[in-house]
């Protein structure tokens, strides 16, 4: 049993799992995350239920709760993931243990991927732990299981993207603080610049600019793509001339190339 475990868990990955999962801080972080998400969901439900005469959530309000909960969780993922990955290599360098790690039989690719997956495993566990909260949405209807599944798969991809960016800056930059700032700068660029560019071209669209341009810009924004997964008609309005085209097609295709590039550069410069 031990030998079979060591075949797919290398020493670097096993060490990272032990260090992250066996500390008191890990379950405490998950508890705080669940409390934050739970209070937000219950607060939203309470406010909307108090405004209704029957005192229950309608199907429309249940869908709005799903949208609100999913958007909030995406923001929290974007906030937490860089903090988990942007210091994994630079931290080893600051503790002067990176040279010892490089002298082991583990390749640079194994070290990078092990650090990435170990960091994201904690974030994935945290996100999966929030799934019972979505039972509130299923209780009142308005959302299909396919929508919930697509949202969680999207979360995993976003975690991989921001995790790869954090690993890259942690490898290239010498200081953890600088790598964290650079990673958050990339996240802010992805969320902020693409949204501002979309709004800019939306205003131009009123003067006759093709709406497809707006759709292409927003296809690089995680929040806009999440909205298109929850409300499919959102993408159809933007790509009227290309009905089969979805925003997540562009998002996944473009950022997959970027994700692989960041991982390759991290392995190259380790």
Q: Which pLDDT tens digit goes with each residue over 244-254?
A: 667 888 889 99
User: Can you tell me the distance from the alpha carbon of 262 to that of 269, in angstroms, rounded to the nearest whole number?
Assistant: 11
Q: What is the pLDDT of residue 157?
A: 93
* Contact between residue 183 and residue 166 where contact means Cβ atoms under 8 Å apart: yes
Q: What mean pLDDT is reported for the chain? A: 78
Q: Which pLDDT score, from 0 to 100, does residue 2 have?
A: 39
**Rounded to the nearest 5°, which phi and psi values hold at 127?**
-70, -40
Res 35: pLDDT? 85
Q: What is the pLDDT of residues 132-141, one digit of tens each?
A: 877 777 666 6
Higher pLDDT among residues 213 and 58, named by residue: 213
What is the structure's pLDDT at 54? 53
For residue 39 the two structure tokens come to 């209070």
Asked if pLDDT for residue 125 goes beyond 80, the answer is yes
- Res 98: pLDDT: 72
- Mean pLDDT highest for which of 29-33, 46-50, 189-193, 227-231? 189-193
Model pTM score: 0.84
pLDDT digits (tens, 9 = 90+) for 139-160: 666 677 788 888 889 999 999 9
Q: Greater confidence, 152 or 239? A: 152
| Residue 103 pLDDT > 90 | no
DSSP the chain: -HHHHHHHS-HHHHHHHHHHHSSTHHHHHHHHHHHHHHHHHHHHHHHHHHTSSSSS--HHHHHHHHHHHHHHHHHHHHHHHHHHHTTHHHHHHHTT-HHHHHTSS--HHHHHHHHHHHHHHHHHHHHHTTGGGGHHHHHH----HHHHHHHHHHHHHHHHHHHHHHHHHHHHSS-HHHHHHHHHHHHHIIIIIHHHHHHHHHHHHTTT--HHHHHHHHTT-HHHHHHHHH-HHHHHHH-TT-TT--HHHHHHHHHHHHHHHHHHHHHHH-
Question: Quick count: other Cβ atoms within 10 Å of Cβ 119?
Answer: 23
- Smallest Cα–Cα separation from 122: which of 230, 240, 13, 210? 13
- Is residue 155 a contact partner of residue 253, using CB atoms and an 8 Å limit? no
């Amino acid at each position: 049993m031990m030998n079979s475990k060591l075949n797919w868990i290398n020493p670097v990955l096993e060490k990272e799992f032990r260090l992250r999962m066996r500390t008191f801080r890990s379950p405490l972080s998950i508890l705080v995350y669940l409390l934050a998400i739970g209070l937000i969901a219950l607060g939203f439900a309470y406010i909307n239920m108090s405004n209704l005469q029957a005192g229950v959530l309608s199907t429309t309000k249940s869908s709005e709760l799903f949208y609100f909960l999913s958007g909030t969780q995406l923001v929290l993922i974007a906030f937490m993931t860089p903090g988990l990955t942007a210091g994994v290599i630079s931290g080893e360098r600051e503790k002067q243990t990176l040279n010892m790690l490089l002298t082991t039989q583990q390749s640079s690719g194994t070290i990078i991927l092990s650090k990435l997956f170990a960091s994201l495993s904690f974030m994935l566990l945290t996100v999966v732990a929030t799934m019972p909260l979505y039972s509130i949405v299923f209780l009142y209807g308005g959302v299909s299981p396919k929508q919930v599944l697509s949202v969680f798969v999207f979360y995993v991809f976003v975690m991989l993207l921001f995790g790869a960016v954090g690993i890259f800056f942690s490898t290239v930059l010498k200081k953890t603080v600088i790598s964290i700032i650079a990673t958050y700068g990339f996240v802010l660029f992805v969320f902020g610049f693409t949204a501002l560019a979309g709004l800019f071209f939306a205003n131009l669209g009123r003067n006759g600019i093709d709406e497809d341009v707006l759709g292409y810009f927003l296809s690089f924004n995680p929040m806009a793509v999440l909205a298109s997964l929850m409300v499919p008609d959102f993408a159809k309005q933007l790509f009227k001339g290309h009905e089969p085209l979805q925003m997540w097609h562009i998002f996944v295709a473009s950022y997959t190339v970027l994700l692989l590039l960041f991982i390759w550069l991290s392995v190259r410069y380790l």
